[in-house]
Amino acid sequence: MSERTAATENPASRGARAAARRMAATHGAQLEAQVEAALHAQGAGSGARAGQYLDADPVALGSLIVSVASLAWTVYQDLRTRTPSPSRPVIARRVRIELPADGRTTPEERDRIIDIVVEEVTRNAEDGEQA
């Protein structure tokens, strides 16, 4: 494993990687590399913010996963100021509302991706709190 900066080692990046591993069987083995490329571009100061897709067609799904993960982590942290354990359905609902549709995925596929990424990001956040 290469050395990673603190920016790439938060629950959002770990959750994005875990989600890519889960979805690789459906979307192809290259998905993990696409997510790594999107994480690298985000960490390299590409200017991408949570909820903003990176503009690269070959890694569009990887960029979507990273965008969902970044936004889910932001929403999770925001909700933590109000409740110690925000529910995944509430986080997923906010992500669906705040993340613009990309037009490349069906609404059903987008929802499935959001659910998987939110699950992985919150799992990583909760695991980090217990460590």
Q: Tell me the per-residue pLDDT of 89-127, one tens digit each, with 9 for 90 and over.
A: 999 999 999 998 878 889 999 999 999 999 999 999 988
Output the DSSP codes for 103-117. SSS-HHHHHHHHHHH
Q: Which two tokens stand for residue 13?
A: 């990046």
Closest-CA residue to 88 (of 66, 101, 72) = 72
Q: Among 9-13, 32-36, 58-62, 84-88, which stretch is predicted with the lowest mean pLDDT?
A: 58-62
pLDDT confidence of residue 25: 93
Please count the residues of the chain: 131
Q: Is the pLDDT of residue 46 over 70?
A: no
Question: What's the one-letter identity of residue 110?
Answer: R
pTM of the model: 0.82
Cβ neighbours for 111, distance < 8 A, ≥ 6 positions apart: 96
Contact (Cβ atoms closer than 8 angstroms) between residue 64 and residue 48: no
Alpha carbon 26 to its chain centroid, in Å, reads 17
Q: Each residue of 65-76: pLDDT tens digit?
A: 999 999 999 999
Q: Is the pLDDT of residue 3 over 80?
A: no
pLDDT > 50? residue 52: no
